[in-house]
Amino acid sequence: MARHYHVYVIELSKDVLNESRFKKGNPDYLTGKQCVYVGMTGLDPDVTGGYGRRN
């Protein structure tokens, strides 16, 4: 049986630029570029309804 995955992109707040964890994990970040998180899940977004999403 084939597995299907869903890719999602979340735009992060510019406040993340002040986080040491972000700086450490993204040493080549270019000033002025968007900050996004790209993830993948086997869960269907229509079923989960945005589980884990923060406003």
Residues with pLDDT less than 70, the chain: 1, 48-55
The answer to whether residue 54 is domain-embedded is no
To the question of pTM greater than 0.85 for the whole model, the response is no
What is the DSSP secondary-structure string of the chain?
Answer: -----EEEEEEPPGGGGG-HHHHHH-TTPPTTS--EEEEEESS-HHHHSSTT---
Which residues span the domain enclosing 12?
6-46
> What is the structure's pLDDT at 50?
59
Strand partners, 13: none
The answer to whether residue 12 is domain-embedded is yes
